[in-house]
Structures are given as structure tokens and as C-alpha cells.
Amino acid sequence: MIIAVSGKGGTGKTLLSSLLIKALSEKNILAIDADPDSNLPEALGVEVIKTVGDVREELKIDTAKGNIPQDVNKWDILDYKIMESVVETPKFDLLVMGRPEGSGCYCAVNNMLRKIIETLSANYDYIVIDTEAGLEHLSRRTTQNVDIMLVVTDKSKRGILTAQRIGELSKELDINFKKMFLVVNRINPDNKDIIIKKVKETGIEIIGTIYEDEEVAEYDIEGSPLVNLSDNSNSVVTVKKIVSRILNSN
């Protein structure tokens, strides 16, 4: 099952992604950080040596310099390097997409990468993708084969608007996610009713609401891995519920 997390930057995509991974971590899971600006590795408390972007540049440079023996094919080299860039932990594996492309043509290498990541992904039962902020991943169709699309929004007008656009655009582009749900983040009991009312206008079914969480705020200030939040913390409990709703909805 492929679960993607999208939404406007700053609404809590990384919080949701890392807690989804925490909730699923006893299973066979691959986390993909597809946001060049994100900090999923930090939220998961792991160090990344190499990203897919680095692999792509390395291959480009080696090819231009003529460093690769002619009859050694680049599929195999990429395959190896992608495996090398997977961060492996006992609970989950993580692949970081990294920096965007430089100038020049990336059609060939991206085509190979797509296939290789597909093969790699087939080895996992669950894949959680922290997508890049905004709508790019939809128009470039990099999230096409996603089963569950989770859209995160906070109480801000712009957050809600982005969520609404994600909903509309996926219909326009005819991208069929099996399910699309909305997660409302960082609200409090006082404004809950007003926010929920506004959020319903997006037309996306709400699957959970995460309240403002002191503990999360503290972790953010300290830069501590969110994955280490205590099991009874409010956010962790809510995301666990979201996960069981997702699994039951299937």
C-alpha cells in the first residue's frame, strides 16, 4: 500500500509522515522523502549519506567524463547506487529524493530511476511518501500510483485553499487515488467547530484532526526526532487512529 502525504508547506506534512511511519514501523515499510525542502530524516532521527539527486548527478558527471566502461550498463550502476542510498534501520527503510535536477537532459536517467524505484518499492508492504509542498507532484504525475492520498491542512486560509486545489487538480488530471482523505492539524477545542466547517468546503473527507500539541512544539524547538514522541502523546495516539481507519477503509 502506498500512502502519500501532501499539502501546503508548513502545515505538518512531516509530522504526519513521521508519525505514520512510527505507527506502521513494525511492518515492512519504506519511507520516501520526496520534498527537497523537507526534514523527514531529522524527524525520523536518521542520517542520510546520499540522496537520489546525488546519485543522478554522480552518474551524469561520470558519463560526461567517459568514466564508465562502455559495456557496463547504467541500469546496474544506478540500481546499486540507489540501494546504497537507502537508509536502513531495524524499523523502517528511508529513501531521500534530494535536490532537484540541474541543467541538461534528465529524461534517460529519470526514466531508469523510475523503473528502479518501482522495483525497489515492490519489496515493501507499506510505502509512505512525504511529497513536496504544493501541487507539482500531481502535475508531474509522480504520485500517480498512490493508493491513499492524505492531504494535510492547518487552520490557515492558504492551507485549506491548497488542500482544495489538490482535490480539484487530481480530478482534473484524472489521477485516481483509491482514497483521498484530509487531516486537519494544529487546531484546538475552542476553534475546532469553526475550522471544521471551513475545511469541509474542500469536499475532501476528514479522517482525523490533530490538536495543537505542546510536546510536538517542544520537540520542534529542540530539533528532536518526532518519531521519539512518547506513545501516549496526543499526536501519536491520533495518527495511530488514522492508520487503523486507513487500514479498515481498504
Residue 221 touching other proteins (CB under 8 A): no
Query: CB under 8 A: which stretch of 86-94, 125-133, 149-157, 219-227 binds other proteins?
Result: 86-94
The identity of residue 70, as a single letter, is Q
* Position among 37, 47, 67, 70 found at the interface with other proteins (CB under 8 A): 70
Residue 73 touching other proteins (CB under 8 A): yes
For residues 66 and 4, the answer to whether their CB atoms sit within 8 Å is no
Q: What is the DSSP annotation of 128-184?
A: EEEPPSSSHHHHTTTTTT-SEEEEEE-SSHHHHHHHHHHHHHHHHTT---SEEEEEE
- Binning the chain into helix, strand and coil, the percentages to the nearest 5 are 45, 20, 35
Residue 77 touching other proteins (CB under 8 A): yes
| Burial letters 17-26, b for 16+ CB under 10 A, else e | bbbbbbbbbe
CA 231 to chain centre: 22
CB of 241 to other proteins, least distance (A): 26
CB of 30 to other proteins, least distance (A): 9
Cβ neighbours of residue 205 closer than 8 Å, sequence gap 6 or more: 180, 181, 182
Residue 91 touching other proteins (CB under 8 A): yes
CB of 52 to other proteins, least distance (A): 16
Closest CA to 68 of 109, 118, 120, 38: 109
Residue 62 touching other proteins (CB under 8 A): no
CA 14 to chain centre: 7
* Position among 10, 45, 100, 123 found at the interface with other proteins (CB under 8 A): 123
* Position among 100, 101, 111, 218 found at the interface with other proteins (CB under 8 A): 111
* Position among 61, 108, 194, 247 found at the interface with other proteins (CB under 8 A): 108
Query: CB under 8 A: which stretch of 83-91, 139-147, 206-214, 221-229 binds other proteins?
Result: 83-91
Please give the residue ranges that form the binding site for other proteins (CB under 8 A). Answer: 28, 60, 63-66, 69-77, 79-80, 83-84, 88-91, 93, 103-105, 107-109, 111-112, 115, 119-120, 122-123
